[in-house]
Amino acid sequence: MSTLLTSDQGPAAGAAGGTARTGRPKGRTGTRGSLRVAALYLLPAVALIAIYLAYPVVYSIGRSLFDRSGATFVGLHNYAELFTDPRTQVALRNNVIWVLVAPALVTGLGLIFAVLTEKIRWATAFRLVLFMPMAISLFASGIIFRLVYQEDPSLGLANAAAVTVHDAFLEPSKYPGARARDARALVADHGNLTTTANYGRGDVVRLPLVGLSPQKLPRQAAPAQDLRPDPRDLRGVVWLDVAAGGGPPGTLGGGKRGMPGVTVQALRDGHVTATTTTGDDGSFAFPDLSPGTYTIRLPASNFAQPFRGLTWLGPALVTPVIISAWVWITTGFAMTFIGAGLSAIPRDALEAARVDGATEWQVFRRVTVPLLSPVLLVVFVTLVINVLKVFELVFVIAPGSAQADANVLALQLWQVAFGAGGGDQAMGSALAVVLFLLVVPAMLFNIRRFRRERR
Amino acid sequence: MSRKFGAVAVAGAVTLGLSVFGLTGCGGASGSGGNGELAGQTIEVTGPWSGDEQKAFQKVLAVFEKQTGAKVNYTAAGDEEPTVLQSKVQGGAPPNIAILAQPGAIAQFAREGVLKPVTADVEQQVDAHMAKAWKNFGTVDGKLYGVYFKAANKSIVWYNDRLLTQAGYQPPATWDDFVKTVNSLSDTGVAPLAVAGADGWTLTDWFENVYLQTAGGEAYDKLAKHQIPWTDPSVKHALQVLQQVFQPKLVADGNAGALQTDFSSSVTKVFSDAPKAAMVFEADFVGQVIASNTKAKVGDDARFFPFPAIGKPAGKPSGSVVTGGDAAVAFKDDKATMALMKFLASPEAGVEWARSGGFLSPNKDMPLDSYTDDLTRAIAKQMLGADDIRFDMSDQAPAEFGATKGAGEWKDLQDFLGNPADVDGTAQRLEADAAKAYHT
């Protein structure tokens, strides 16, 4: 696998061969002799390419046409199976997302940073910082980002920040996670708890709740007491039906305490007609109700679970998160390359534009970018090749439950070919060939550019 | 330790920012130029263990070296051991002995004809000291290849003593009690269970423990070989039983949060200074995670009860245990190799490792006082005393079904944890994936 993945070393090796050729000594004995010398010089490079590139590629292609055991020729069967496998389809889809989003984003950011850092003082220091992530191994970077995006706000930096900001604007609920003791008497709907029975003046509504530790009650919470009915109002009590050694479920007494500060609504025909709040012992009353029947509702705001941030590493967000990690790592690389291209731009072109009255934006848009476009293209294409091979980040950042959703071809290849218990190297080879074919156009493009530039 | 724990160890190292990939080659145990009957012979052994486990195993090998005068070279091959062995076999240089955690790999090597069945005196040793089940685990097509040396007891629920017994609950013995206990814990605002949903293998262990009891050993063996489909009513019933506890109000951080929780986090959720859950189900090796990742004291703050009995007469323990383990297999059948195989099957082989901790022996004659603490002794007793003992089913399955992240049984049970109402859909997905992996 790795030989195929690194086969974009090709141009470099080819260039080495070129050097050998141009190093031909002058005036040796005739053409045949010089051919022999040329062959001698070429031999090491050719041998290395043959051993480390050509042979593995040919072997992988051959292997992909046989079955798992390598004994039976199956033609293109592995490829047919590969493209009907939903996991490969997801991997392909993700690779497409990566190629569409990541290289363009990084090239754009690299351009912006390169242009900006050219204009500021301490530019080198700034560039150094931006380039730093390139010095960290992909594996370690993956671990960093896995920690940053942990779901638990006490572990993950991203969610810790999200929760802090969220709670600064929206106060968390008083009794997160509390629920009805009897889910049939007090029905939960979108987090609201509503009584199934109807009540009117002179009734007492008893609402036992559970799912909360008694230690989480506010200090002023007083023991809840049963109320006497009063014909003038509709009253009730909300209490935490949990106590150490407390009486049977659903009953008052035994040290069970009321839940202060719970919002209680009286509903008639689905409309809120009155709202009140429980006292320290959990009691509440609606004194001014007009006669009729009401249902009692404890709105969801009392019990909403605390905001815990986003599930960054869940199926929906995991790919964007991993792309963000990759962007963090590679932007420095793009910036350095583009920065080098930038310093090669003739200054007088920029100056001329400025003298002609162009704004900085116009200079950037009409002069800098067009002059830089060859560099930008090379950077972009190199990143595309890089992105197609992305493996470590997905492997490290995606938790097991989301790995299928974050899957990319290189990871799928590794899992299929070398996963636990041996693996299927025929299918793995087929995947390697597909990945290779996807990289080839970008590679050819780069090679052709190199050639044109040399001319 | 099973391969699964190996994976955990790697994950642990990863969180420390160390990558421990590749092979950790290592020389033999202490140089003991003995003059025993095998003096001058060298035995190459490959195994999955590295680090502390490797040190402990080398102590075991040193005992053998001292007794026989042979020299044993141990090489750690890590989690990818089957792949490593495959290439060694292809290169014509297999080790004398490999320690393998995957029954599937043992069967594969045996059927390829590269393994040697053990000699009669090794088999006698196994018959004498191990329960029939362990012999069966190491047998392929009627011949004994694998000698189990290290075992894992995967039918254990660990609990935080402060949150359970000190809060007035008894460790539940039956499933009904278990369901009742987790529900009343939840009423008091304590999340009862930490579930490591990010690691699919913990979910397969949940399922296997339930299925072994609700469907019985015979059905378990059939399902392991895919002789009955996963859409069988027995599978659906086991999923329904599991559904009783895979509920958002019973699982710490809810089912979606559990899917983001890996194995070692599920342990720290129960045993950290600010625990978020009262119990966590898994194997004996949870003890090592507690010891290395939390301040809780195993045997004191952290205790265990056997996986609750389902549908058994009251007062009777379940007697069912799901195990994993590491077996020694021989690639050569010379005298020295078989002598080491015989030694590994003997009661004294495990003693050294048991003293170092983190070890459970399948050998019923290894003295229980070799274990250094009561808790490990109790775990060993539970396993040795079980009358219905089965090997981890997902480890017996083809790896693409039973041991691949994001695929097969791991993924299907993760989807089930995410949506426990979908019993039928889960069974169908399991069957579709199994059919593909078993090629039936």
* Model confidence pLDDT, tens digit, residues A77-126: 999 988 998 889 999 999 999 999 999 999 999 999 998 888 788 888 88
Can you tell me the distance from the alpha carbon of A206 to that of A212, in angstroms, rounded to the nearest whole number? Answer: 18
Same-domain status, B310 and B348: no
Mean pLDDT of A10-17: 41
The Cβ-side half-sphere exposure at B39, using a 13 Å CA radius, reads 6
What would the pLDDT profile of A118-128 be if each residue is shown by its tens digit? 878 888 888 88
A97: helix, strand or coil = helix
Can you tell me the distance from the alpha carbon of A353 to that of A333, in angstroms, rounded to the nearest whole number? Answer: 29
Q: What secondary structure does DSSP assign to A24-78, as a single string?
A: PPSS-SHHHHHHHHHHHHHHHHHHHHIIIIIHHHHHHHHHTTB-TTS-SB-TTHH
Residue A27 has pLDDT above 80, yes or no: no
Q: What is the pLDDT of residue B33?
A: 44
Can you tell me the distance from the alpha carbon of B310 to that of A280, in angstroms, rounded to the nearest whole number? Answer: 45
What would the pLDDT profile of A299-309 be if each residue is shown by its tens digit? 988 888 888 88
The Cβ-side half-sphere exposure at A142, using a 13 Å CA radius, reads 19
CATH number of the structural domain spanning residue B100: 3.40.190.10
Can you tell me the distance from the alpha carbon of B355 to that of B143, in angstroms, rounded to the nearest whole number? Answer: 32
Cα B324 from chain centre:
3
Point out the least confidently predicted range of A68-72, A146-150, A174-178, B371-375: A68-72
Can you tell me the distance from the alpha carbon of A228 to that of A241, in angstroms, rounded to the nearest whole number? Answer: 19
AA letter at A17: G
Same-domain status, B114 and B220: no
The number of helices, as runs of H, and strands, as runs of E, in chain A is 17, 9
Reported confidence tier of residue A247, pLDDT bands at 50, 70, 90: low
Contact between A400 and B262 using a beta-carbon 8 Å cutoff:
yes
Contacts of B418 in chain A (CB under 8 A): 401
Which own/partner contact pairs does A41-48 have at CB distance under 8 Å and 24+ positions apart? A42/A17, A45/A13, A45/A16, A45/A17, A45/A20, A46/A17, A48/A13
AA letter at B324: G
Q: What is the DSSP letter of A223?
A: B
Contact between A313 and B404 using a beta-carbon 8 Å cutoff:
no
Can you tell me the distance from the alpha carbon of B64 to that of B186, in angstroms, rounded to the nearest whole number? Answer: 52
Residue A21 has pLDDT above 50, yes or no: no
Interface contacts (A, B; CB < 8 Å): 118
Q: In b/e form, how buried is each residue of B51-82, taking b as 16+ CB within 10 angstroms? A: eebbebbbbbbbbbbebbbbbbbbbbbbbbbb
Same-domain status, B130 and B180: no
Same-domain status, B328 and B315: no
A195: helix, strand or coil = strand
Same-domain status, B327 and B379: yes
Helices (H), A120-177: 123-135, 138-148, 157-169
Token pair belonging to B116? 């040697």
Contacts of A87 in chain B (CB under 8 A): 406-407
Same-domain status, B132 and B280: no
Contacts of B405 in chain A (CB under 8 A): 400, 403-404, 415
Same-domain status, B7 and B114: yes
Same-domain status, B367 and B253: no
Mean pLDDT of A377-387: 93
The owner of tokens 């061969």 is: A17
CB atoms within 10 A of CB B365: 12
Q: What is the pLDDT of residue A455?
A: 65
Contact between A404 and B411 using a beta-carbon 8 Å cutoff:
yes
Same-domain status, B416 and B279: yes
Q: What is the pLDDT of residue A421?
A: 52
| CB contact at 8 A, A176 and A306 | yes
Instruction: Give the residue from B210, B271, B176, B190 showing the smallest Cα distance to B413.
Output: B210
Same-domain status, B186 and B267: yes
What is the residue extent of each domain of chain A? 2-18+28-57, 85-161+312-454, 179-302
CA distance A150 to chain B (A): 8
| CB contact at 8 A, A117 and A127 | yes
- Residue B198 has its nearest CB partner, among A139, A210, A399, at A399
Same-domain status, B247 and B111: no
The CATH homologous superfamily for domain A85-161+312-454 is MetI-like (1.10.3720.10)
Instruction: Give the residue from B201, B230, B225, B228 showing the smallest Cα distance to B427.
Output: B230
Can you tell me the distance from the alpha carbon of B220 to that of B208, in angstroms, rounded to the nearest whole number? Answer: 8
Three-state SS string over chain B comes to CCHHHHHHHHHHHHHCCCCCCCCECCCCCCCCCCCCCCCCCEEEEEECCCHHHHHHHHHHHHHHHHHHCCEEEEEECHHHHHHHHHHHHHCCCCCCEEEECCHHHHHHHHHHCCCECCCHHHHHHHHHHECHHHHHHCEECCEECCEEEEEEECCEEEEECCCCHHHCCCCCCEHHHHHHHHHHHHHCCCCCEECCCCCHHHHHHHHHHHHHHHHCHHHHHHHHCCCCCCCCHHHHHHHHHHHCCCCCCCECCHHHHHCCCCHHHHHHHHHCCCCCCCEEEECCCHHHHHHHHCCCCECCCEEEEECCECCCCCCCCCCEEEEEEEEEEECCCCHHHHHHHHHHCCCCCCHHHHHHCCCCCCECCCCHHHCCCHHHHHHHHHHHCCCEEEECHHHHCCHHHHCCCCCHHHHHHHHHHHCCCCHHHHHHHHHHHHHHHHCC
Radius of gyration of chain A (CA): 35
Q: What is the pTM of this model?
A: 0.84
- Residue B405 has its nearest CB partner, among A137, A151, A400, at A400
A187: helix, strand or coil = strand
CB atoms within 10 A of CB A152: 17
**Which stretches in chain B have pLDDT values below 50?**
1-34
Contact between B400 and A419 using a beta-carbon 8 Å cutoff:
yes
What would the pLDDT profile of B73-115 be if each residue is shown by its tens digit? 999 987 778 888 888 888 889 999 999 988 888 988 998 899 9
To test the contact with chain B by mutation, choose from A174, A401, A403, A408 the residue with the greatest count of B C-beta atoms within 10 A, namely A401
Task: Give the N- to C-terminal CA distance of chain A in Å, as an integer.
Answer: 34
| CB contact at 8 A, A257 and A222 | yes
* pLDDT above 70 as % of chain A: 91
Token pair belonging to A1? 């696998």
Same-domain status, B304 and B360: no
Contacts of A308 in chain B (CB under 8 A): 253, 257
Token pair belonging to B20? 């421990």
CA distance A157 to chain B (A): 15
Residue ranges making up the domain that contains B45: 3-153+322-393
AA letter at B4: K
Contacts of B257 in chain A (CB under 8 A): 151-152, 308
Q: In b/e form, how buried is each residue of A383-396, taking b as 16+ CB within 10 angstroms? A: bbbbbbbbbbbbbb
Q: Which residue of B has its CA nearest to A417?
A: B83
Point out the least confidently predicted range of A392-396, A449-453, B177-181, B257-261: A449-453
CA distance A420 to chain B (A): 6
Number of domains chain B is built from? 2
Q: B161 Cβ partners below 8 Å, 6+ apart?
A: B300, B301, B302, B303
